[in-house]
Amino acid sequence: MRLLNGSGCLDALVAPEVARSLDTFVTKTVTPLPREGSPPVRIAETDVGMLNSIGLANPGIEAFVSEALPRLAELGVPIWVSVGGFSDGDYADLCAALDDRLEVEAIELNLSCPNVDEPAGSVGELVIAARGATAKPLYAKLSPAVPSIGALAVEVKEAGADGLTLVNTIRGLSLDARTLRPTLAREFGGLSGPALKPIALAAIFAAYRATGLPIVGLGGVSTGRDVLEFLAAGASSVALGTVLFGDPDAPARIRSELARELESLAVVEADNIRGRAHGGRFAEWLTLDRHLSV
Amino acid sequence: MRRARPRRARVTVCGNEPVGPYRLLRVGRRSLAPGLPGQFFMLGAPGRLLPRPMSLCTVRPRELAFLIDPVGPGSRALCELSVGETLVVFGPLGRGFRLEVERPLLVGGGIGVAPLPYLSEALGRPPAVLGFRSPRHAEAAALVPRAQVVVEPRLVTQALPAGRFDVLACGPEPMLEAVRELAPAAQLAWEAPMACGYGACWGCAVEIDGRLQRLCVEGPVLEALAA
């Protein structure tokens, strides 16, 4: 089990000490060409989470590889690069540009940013294009706002993905208290934070059952207990997003909370929790225990 | 001057007084460095997901104080804190005012006066021109020494003294734009909603001179670009 950051939720070059407190750093999404991102206002707090429309601001793959990547490698933390494009050719080019870079441990395919136009082609076609361009582990980051996340996970697995990142934000809207106009300049934004947790758990649960693939789970994780639940639903690793904004010390806190949770369950390794929500001996034991205590 | 290292600490409220429609929230300082005037702290607002950025208003040996306008759920929650309650504070963050100036003139508008008391102290109490939307709001001018006060419809830009000054300003965007017209080299403290305050989210980008700048890293104090 690794603790990562959600792509877009951390800039390791500005906050290296936060990146070093994680097991793996995931970059903000890199696109073929540089992007300024969305105009301000880009963020809005809601009662149950936050909306963002950063819009994939990034220096483009060429500058990323030549300038940012060598500096990121100095962090001493495994680097996953998130990539996003607008066609299957984009995904192939992005993966090809990273394929021979030793600094890059894995590539996350952002197939679901709610703040930019959707790429042409099906998710499966985009993964096939990426698969053809690199031997690196490929994680497909999916939106939970689909008719069947299980079916999509199977499509992505058959297209050659090595793992899944579940879930991306889902589209939301916030209105300004005084003007009743959209708060964000781009009107819609991606909803993250506590509201996303049950949605993420459902997606992880379904995708684990449908594919058995390794899953990086994220969406509203803010405590060690949340990590435990994500693992039980089927995540093999867990990423932190919105919680890092208000609490840059969250990784250390969550680790110690998780250790206490595991201790109370008499479980030694976090990895042993994976999939427990789906039944098996552990679940039977818990049920038995409940019967005995009645 | 080297930037102070930002720290996160749970601090205790030691005062919360009205200043016109605003509140001056005073908290124990603990090991927190005050940083430079114009730098800010992220204040954990009770019951809210995200902390709120507030520039430091006054500094005492054992105390930091923030002037807060209760305009939204987060700032209202902060303004309702009672003495003895605690909150998490993270800072100092961002880029503050450059203090190596010859003839400082402070210009503030509304809640934009927040960083000026600390700035005034650091610069040896230079003259100040402050603008407010009502006499009640103008009560905050008492926090700033040597302040000339104007109330709408009169604007600060109509009250700037003649002569050459190094202008340091904080206030609403239209005021900053108007000040910059008159004083192109002014140091201006801008404002934007922030989620993290430390460069993680890129949510506070604002477009200034056609360029997007992250106010929590490149700002909040930006110097006018060389013409």
- CATH number of the domain enclosing B173: 3.40.50.80
Beta bridge partners of A216: A165, A237
Question: B75 and B123 share a domain?
Answer: no
List A residues 136-195 in contact with B (Cβ-Cβ < 8 A). Answer: 177, 193-194
Is residue B216, in this structure, part of any structural domain at all? yes
Q: Does B198 touch chain A (CB under 8 A)?
A: yes
Q: Does B50 touch chain A (CB under 8 A)?
A: yes
Q: Does B76 touch chain A (CB under 8 A)?
A: no
Is residue B17, in this structure, part of any structural domain at all? yes
Q: Do A246 and B212 touch (CB under 8 A)?
A: no
Q: Which of B8, B195, B205 sits opposite A37 (nearest CB)?
A: B205
Q: Does B209 touch chain A (CB under 8 A)?
A: no
Tell me, yes or no, if the pTM score tops 0.80.
Answer: yes
Per-residue pLDDT tens over the stretch B59-92 = 999 999 999 999 999 999 999 999 999 999 999 9
Question: B116 and B203 share a domain?
Answer: yes
Question: B117 and B69 share a domain?
Answer: no
Say how far apart CA A3 and CA A150 lie, in whole Å: 24
Contact A234, A252 (CB under 8 A): no
Per-residue pLDDT tens over the stretch B114-141 = 999 999 999 999 999 999 999 999 999 9
Contact A79, A72 (CB under 8 A): yes
Contacts of B62 (CB under 8 A, 6+ apart): B28, B29
Question: B195 and B123 share a domain?
Answer: yes
Say how far apart CA B138 and CA A93 lie, in whole Å: 59
Question: B147 and B203 share a domain?
Answer: yes
The residue from B51, B70, B93 where one domain ends is B93
A143: its two tokens: 């939106």
Residue B1 in this model has a pLDDT that exceeds 90: no
Is residue B128, in this structure, part of any structural domain at all? yes
Distance from the B195 Cα atom to the nearest Cα atom in chain A, whole angstroms: 6
Q: Which of B192, B200, B202 sits opposite A244 (nearest CB)?
A: B200
Q: What is the pLDDT of residue A288?
A: 47
The residue from B58, B93, B128 where one domain ends is B93
Instruction: Give whole-number Cα distances, B31 to A52, A65, A261, B82, B173, in Å.
Output: 33, 40, 32, 22, 33
ipTM entry: 0.92
The residue from B32, B58, B93 where one domain ends is B93
Instruction: Give whole-number Cα distances, A174 to A73, A179, A276, in Å.
Output: 38, 11, 37
Is residue B98, in this structure, part of any structural domain at all? no
Question: B88 and B110 share a domain?
Answer: no
Question: B178 and B130 share a domain?
Answer: yes
A113 is a catalytic site residue? yes
Say how far apart CA A168 and CA A241 lie, in whole Å: 10
Is residue B19, in this structure, part of any structural domain at all? yes
Q: Does A249 touch chain B (CB under 8 A)?
A: yes
Instruction: Give whole-number Cα distances, B70 to A288, B28, B105, in Å.
Output: 53, 21, 28
Length of chain B: 227
Q: What is the pLDDT along chain A (294 residues), one digit of tens a residue?
A: 999 999 999 999 999 999 999 999 999 999 999 999 999 999 999 999 999 999 999 999 999 999 999 999 999 999 999 999 999 999 999 999 999 999 999 999 999 876 677 777 799 999 999 999 999 999 999 999 999 999 999 999 999 999 999 999 999 999 998 999 999 999 999 999 999 999 999 999 999 999 999 999 999 999 999 999 999 999 999 999 999 999 999 999 999 999 999 999 999 999 999 999 998 654 444 444 444 443
CATH number, domain with residue B49? 2.40.30.10
Beta bridge partners of B89: B9, B43
Say how far apart CA A190 and CA A188 lie, in whole Å: 7
How would CATH label the architecture of A3-37+54-171+193-293?
Alpha-Beta Barrel (3.20)
Label the pairing between strands B166-170 and B147-151: unpaired
Alpha carbon B54 to its chain centroid, in Å, reads: 7
Is residue B163, in this structure, part of any structural domain at all? yes
Q: With contacts defined as CB-CB under 8 Å, which chain B residues touch A49?
A: 49
Question: B108 and B128 share a domain?
Answer: yes
Say how far apart CA A246 and CA B10 lie, in whole Å: 13
Tell me how many domains chain B contains: 2
Q: Do A244 and B212 touch (CB under 8 A)?
A: no
Question: B126 and B191 share a domain?
Answer: yes
Q: Do B50 and A45 touch (CB under 8 A)?
A: yes
Distance from the B3 Cα atom to the nearest Cα atom in chain A, whole angstroms: 14
Per-residue pLDDT tens over the stretch B23-54 = 999 999 998 999 999 999 999 999 999 999 99
Q: Provide φ and ψ at A242, rounded to 5°.
A: -55, -35
Q: With contacts defined as CB-CB under 8 Å, which chain A residues touch B199?
A: 11, 14-15
Per-residue pLDDT tens over the stretch B153-207 = 999 999 898 889 999 999 999 999 999 999 999 999 999 999 999 999 999 998 8
Could you list the residue range(s) of the whole structural domain that residue B143 is in?
104-223
pLDDT-derived band at B2 (thresholds 50, 70, 90) equals low
Question: B112 and B174 share a domain?
Answer: yes
Question: B44 and B126 share a domain?
Answer: no
Q: Does B199 touch chain A (CB under 8 A)?
A: yes
